[in-house]
Amino acid sequence: MEAFFDYLATSFYNTFIYQNRYLLFLEGLGNTILIAIFATLIGVILGILVAIVRVYSAQTGKLKWLDWICSVYLAVIRGTPTVVQLMIAYFMIFSFIDNTILVSVLAFGINSGAYVAEIVRGGILSVDKGQTEAGRSLGLSAATTMRSIVLPQAFKSCLPSLGNEFITILKETSVAGYIPVMDLTKAADLVRSRTMDPFFSLISIALVYLVLVLGMNAIFKAIERRMAKSDRR
């Protein structure tokens, strides 16, 4: 037992304290959070736009070509692994951008947009058709009906799946190290290659990711509770 605590103490010292390595982890954590937040933002905006286009096109038969572009986007993004997309973004599509954090934000954002689009589309379809009809017959434009009547209700029903998607993005940023970005996982890789102790750094960052996800969970619970206030059931 004592030997185990000795191991813990030595490993903790070697992994975090020695040569101020905790700074490396902090930098990595910062980048992980930064990438996750902005990728989520891009994903949400892109996802909502794509979802609206697809629903609108399916209901009215207009915007066929835009709908087609969206389907290609969904097929390609959902049909290829994130890490492959990240490498393609870095080497080819965004090779003119020098800021690698920005490249990973764009890559993860575009990736997430495809998943968010399907979640939001499901949410919009779950809103009863009568809601749109009511809005339209009250004289609201199609756009206003969508913005003020359909989307708020859709948002509520897709919230749990959205939360799930945000958690997924946060964890997927762990492959960012394939390009020159120092995320939390890469920081652990670097330190591990010095300490030659694979377990401690892995368990440590696993705990950090877990804490982050639990935090996100709590936030989403709070939002869901707030949203449920208007439920009259």
Partner 1 sequence: MKITKTILAMSLAAVMAMGVLSGCSSDQQSLEKIKESGEIVMYTNAEFAPFEYIGDNNEIVGVDVDIAKELAKDLGVELKIENVKFDTIIGAIQTGKGAFGAAGITVTPEREEQVDFSVKYVKSKQYIVQKTDSNFNTIDDLKGKQIGVQLGTTGDLTIDDALMAAADREDGTDGILYNSGAVLNQYNSAPLAAADIGTGKLDAVVVDELPAQAIANRENSGLKAVEMKYSDGSTVEEEYAFCVQKGNTELLEAINNTLERLMAEGKIDEYVLNHTTQE
- The region of 48-56, 82-90, 127-135, 161-169 touching partner 1 under the rule CB under 8 A is 82-90
Site residues for partner 1, 127-166, by CB under 8 A, read: none
Cα(82)–Cα(7) distance, integer angstroms:
36
Counting other chains too, the contacts that 35-39 makes at CB distance below 8 Å and 24 or more residues apart are 35/101, 35/104, 35/105, 35/108, 35/173, 35/176, 35/181, 35/183, 36/108, 36/166, 36/169, 36/170, 36/173, 38/105, 38/109, 39/104, 39/105, 39/107, 39/108, 39/109, 39/111, 39/112, 39/169, 39/173
Question: What's the CA gap between 94 and 62, in Å, rounded?
Answer: 32
Nearer to partner 1, 95 or 141 (CB): 95
Least distance to partner 1, CB of residue 214, Å = 27
Residue with smaller CB distance to partner 1, 165 or 183: 183
What's the CA gap between 32 and 185, in Å, rounded? 9
Q: Exactly one of 37, 41, 58, 75 binds partner 1 (CB under 8 A); which one?
A: 75
In the complex, least distance from residue 117 CB atom to partner 1, rounded to whole angstroms: 16
11 is a contact residue toward partner 1 (CB under 8 A): no
Check binding of 191 to partner 1 (CB under 8 A): yes
Q: Counting contacts by CB under 8 A, is residue 67 touching partner 1?
A: no
Cα 123 to chain centroid, rounded: 18
Radius of gyration, alpha carbons of the chain: 22
Check residue 21 for interaction with partner 1 (CB under 8 A).
Answer: yes
Only one of the segments 111-119, 120-128, 172-180, 223-231 lies at the binding site for partner 1 (rule: CB under 8 A); that segment is 172-180
Binding-site member from 68, 129, 217, 219 for partner 1 (CB under 8 A): 68
Q: Output the smallest distance, CB 197 to partner 1, in A.
A: 7
Helix (H, G, I), strand (E, B) or coil at 89: helix
Q: Which residues bind partner 1 (CB under 8 A)?
A: 10, 19-21, 23-24, 27, 68, 71-72, 75-76, 87-88, 90-93, 95, 100, 177-180, 182, 186, 189-199
